[in-house]
Amino acid sequence: MLANSGYAEIEELSRVIPSKERLAKGAVAIAECLQSIPCNPCNSACKRGAFLAFKDINDLPTVDVERCNGCGLCVSACPGLAIFVVDESFNETEALIKLPYEFLPLPIEGKDVPALDRKGEIVGTARVVKVQNTKTMDRTPVIWIAVPKAMSMIVRNIRP
């Protein structure tokens, strides 16, 4: 449980994980943000209005998955590194995950790297598809990785 261990169990994420049908349609943001804190950059980062308006700065974010196109702008905007984009339509066998990454060195595009779960344990291998690191990302690069489809809700980090 997040409050005790520092990482979220999959059961705690049922509120934020899109339906299987929506996931199959293509890229969508998943805000794994479960603690009420005064924070809302995700809301202003999304140009499509896909984050529902906060009534209070402490509200938990909610993504309107029908408005979200998986662009990933919110991923680097989140100071909690809590937002991921998952695209289960990436290809026949793999899902694409866009994740925030603040370590150096940055991974290298095209390389295979260890894939980590939310606990930081190695659960398989990921292929680095793209490294996005622009000035507007303000030192939170976004790494695109390909993983087996069955791992799309398990892998949430990498080790370069």
95: Cα separation from own chain's centroid: 12
Residue number with CB closer to ligand SF4 (15 or 111): 15
Residue number with CB closer to ligand SF4 (71 or 106): 71
Minimal distance in Å, beta carbon 75 to ligand SF4?
7
DSSP letter, residue 151: G
Residue number with CB closer to ligand SF4 (38 or 105): 38
Sequence-distant (6+) residues with CB within 8 A of 130 are 109, 143, 144
Widest Cα–Cα separation across the chain: 43
Give the residue among 76, 124, 83 at the shortest CA–CA distance from 102.
Answer: 76
Minimal distance in Å, beta carbon 135 to ligand SF4?
18
Residue number with CB closer to ligand SF4 (61 or 141): 61
Minimal distance in Å, beta carbon 69 to ligand SF4?
5
Give the footprint of ligand SF4 on this chain (CB under 6 A): 29, 31, 33, 39-42, 45-46, 48, 50-51, 61, 63, 68-74, 78-80, 82-83, 85
* CA–CA gap between residue 26 and residue 21 (Å, rounded): 9
Minimal distance in Å, beta carbon 158 to ligand SF4?
19
Residue number with CB closer to ligand SF4 (19 or 93): 19
- With b for 16 or more beta-carbon neighbours within 10 A and e for fewer, the 44-78 pattern comes to ebbeeebbeeeeeeebebbbebeebebbbbbbbbb
Minimal distance in Å, beta carbon 7 to ligand SF4?
15
